[in-house]
């Protein structure tokens, strides 16, 4: 049987009916509550010198709720023991495993560290000098636009043509700033790549503008992108090119699986050790031609180029 605590509105009605002289059972019937709930509420929040006050009762209720929360296993003795083992270069998992029974789980030890309950939150006692709960974004931050959760269902189901996934493929670290802007159409799997001088937002916007300008109207409706800073000019792209931009969730590359897979195919021609600034236009066009002219099982053994051209013919 479900149970919910009395709320402010119910306490106000209880007070009004109680002042009218209604019995606990009559009030309970009116409020659709058990009569013992009403009796306990009045007894708990009514004194000999004062009548029942719904405001004071609600305030007392909030205080009781705060005090009812479990304090967990933390205490100074356990905290000191954990700190001692951490200083001996033990990991939280080793501490929890060796001292099983008296210790909380290793996840709790990590949480206590993050909350500052152990070692004053100094994560350098960890051998990895402070594990992070999630990967650190090093490419810069900006205010993203529409979330992928706002993207129309037809896009997710690949029912409509003209919805693309965008990304970048970069040179090996230390080689150069040269990279490629990549585009994959979700329904046909058609794949495009353009050389851009660097991974800046202005370079990416220029690449998107070039692709949209060279495609027929209606063939580039939306773009699904990651949260890299190269998409920081998403508002300008939406305004200038009339293209809706949707951002995938953080660290969720599977939400742009078509593009990620196609980037892997491109890497077969230009491995990660490559300096992409030295790739010629002819080399890039040859790789794209080979990728787009392979039969695809998901397309009924059509090629991506054939499926793309078929969709373009429907637009005209």
Q: What are phi and psi of 233, to 5 degrees?
A: -95, 30
- CB within 8 A of 147, min separation 6: which ones? 246, 247, 249
Q: Residue 183 in 3-state DSSP?
A: strand
Select, from the ranges 55-69, 81-95, 207-221, the one with the highest average predicted confidence (pLDDT).
Answer: 207-221
Structure tokens at 34: 């058990």
pLDDT of residue 192: 97
Mean pLDDT value of segment 43-50: 79
Q: What is the DSSP letter of 85?
A: H
Asked whether residue 118 carries a pLDDT value surpassing 60, the answer given is yes
96 touches 104 (CB < 8 A): yes
Q: Residue 163 in 3-state DSSP?
A: strand
The secondary structure of 24-52 as a DSSP string is HHHHHHHHT--HHHHHHHHHHT--SSS--
Lowest-confidence pick of 123-127, 179-183, 301-305? 123-127
Q: How confident is the model at residue 135 (pLDDT cuts 50, 70, 90)?
A: low
The angle formed by the CA atoms of residues 270, 272 and 275, to the nearest 5 degrees, is 70
pLDDT of residue 188: 96
Question: Where are the domains positioned within the chain?
Answer: 8-67, 76-125, 146-315
Lowest-confidence pick of 22-36, 69-83, 87-101? 69-83
Identify the residue whose tokens are 């699904």. 224
| d(C-alpha 174, C-alpha 94), whole Å | 38
**Strand 163-170 relative to strand 295-296, pairing:** unpaired
Identify the residue whose tokens are 């706002």. 150
pLDDT in tens, 187-205: 999 999 999 999 999 999 9
Q: How confident is the model at residue 140 (pLDDT cuts 50, 70, 90)?
A: low
Mean pLDDT value of segment 80-97: 86
pLDDT of residue 77: 85
Largest Cα–Cα distance of the chain, in whole Å? 93
Determine what percent of the chain is predicted with pLDDT higher than 70.
Answer: 91
56 touches 35 (CB < 8 A): no
Neighbouring C-alpha atoms within 13 Å toward the C-beta of 16: 8
Q: What are phi and psi of 194, to 5 degrees?
A: -125, 135
| d(C-alpha 247, C-alpha 241), whole Å | 17
pLDDT in tens, 159-190: 999 999 999 999 877 667 889 999 999 999 99
Asked whether residue 309 carries a pLDDT value surpassing 60, the answer given is yes
pLDDT in tens, 26-43: 999 999 999 999 999 888
Identify the residue whose tokens are 């397309």. 299
Compare 225 and 63 and report the one with higher pLDDT. 225
CA-based nearest residue to 275, from 204, 175, 186: 175
pLDDT of residue 182: 97
172 touches 272 (CB < 8 A): yes
pLDDT of residue 292: 95
pLDDT of residue 1: 45
Asked whether residue 94 carries a pLDDT value surpassing 50, the answer given is yes
Compare 84 and 143 and report the one with higher pLDDT. 84
Mean predicted lDDT score pLDDT of the chain: 87
The angle formed by the CA atoms of residues 181, 186 and 192, to the nearest 5 degrees, is 30
pLDDT of residue 172: 78
Q: What are the contacts of 194-203 at 24+ separation with CB within 8 A?
A: 195/276, 195/277, 195/279, 195/281, 195/284, 196/168, 197/277, 199/139, 199/168, 199/170, 199/228, 199/229, 199/230, 200/229, 200/230, 201/229, 201/230, 201/231, 201/232, 201/233, 202/233, 203/230
Asked whether residue 209 carries a pLDDT value surpassing 70, the answer given is yes
| d(C-alpha 113, C-alpha 91), whole Å | 12
Asked whether residue 266 carries a pLDDT value surpassing 50, the answer given is yes
**Strand 163-170 relative to strand 222-225, pairing:** parallel
pLDDT of residue 127: 67
pLDDT of residue 170: 92
> What does CATH list as the number for 146-315?
3.30.420.10
């Amino acid at each position: 049987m479900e149970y919910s605590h009395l709320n402010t509105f119910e306490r106000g009605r209880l007070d009004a009916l109680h002042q009218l002289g209604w019995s606990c059972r009559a009030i309970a019937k009116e409020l659709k509550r058990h009569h013992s709930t009403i009796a306990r509420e009045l007894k708990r929040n009514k004194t000999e010198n004062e009548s029942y006050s719904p405001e004071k009762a609600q305030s007392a209720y909030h205080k009781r709720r705060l005090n009812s929360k479990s304090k967990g296993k933390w205490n100074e003795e356990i905290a000191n023991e954990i700190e001692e083992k951490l200083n001996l270069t033990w990991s939280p998992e080793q501490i929890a495993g060796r001292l099983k029974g008296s210790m909380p789980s290793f996840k709790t030890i990590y949480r206590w560290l993050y909350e500052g309950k152990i070692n004053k939150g100094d994560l350098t006692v960890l051998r990895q000098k402070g594990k992070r709960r999630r990967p650190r974004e090093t490419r810069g931050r900006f205010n993203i636009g529409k979330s992928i959760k706002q993207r129309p269902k037809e896009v997710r189901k690949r029912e409509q043509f003209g919805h693309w996934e965008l990304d970048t493929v970069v040179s090996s670290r230390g080689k150069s700033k040269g990279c490629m802007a990549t585009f994959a159409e979700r329904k046909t799997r058609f794949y495009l790549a353009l050389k851009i001088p660097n991974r800046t937002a202005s370079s990416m916007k220029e690449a998107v503008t070039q692709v949209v300008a060279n495609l027929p109207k209606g063939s580039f409706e939306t773009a699904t992108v990651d949260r890299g800073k190269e998409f920081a000019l998403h508002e300008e792209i939406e305004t200038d090119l009339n293209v809706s931009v949707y951002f995938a969730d953080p660290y969720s590359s599977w939400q742009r699986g078509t593009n990620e897979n196609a980037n892997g195919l491109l890497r077969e021609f230009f491995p990660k050790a490559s300096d992409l600034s030295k790739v010629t236009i002819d080399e890039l066009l040859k790789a794209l031609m080979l990728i787009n002219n392979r039969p695809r099982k998901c397309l009924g053994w059509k090629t991506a180029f054939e499926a793309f051209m078929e969709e373009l013919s429907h637009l005209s």
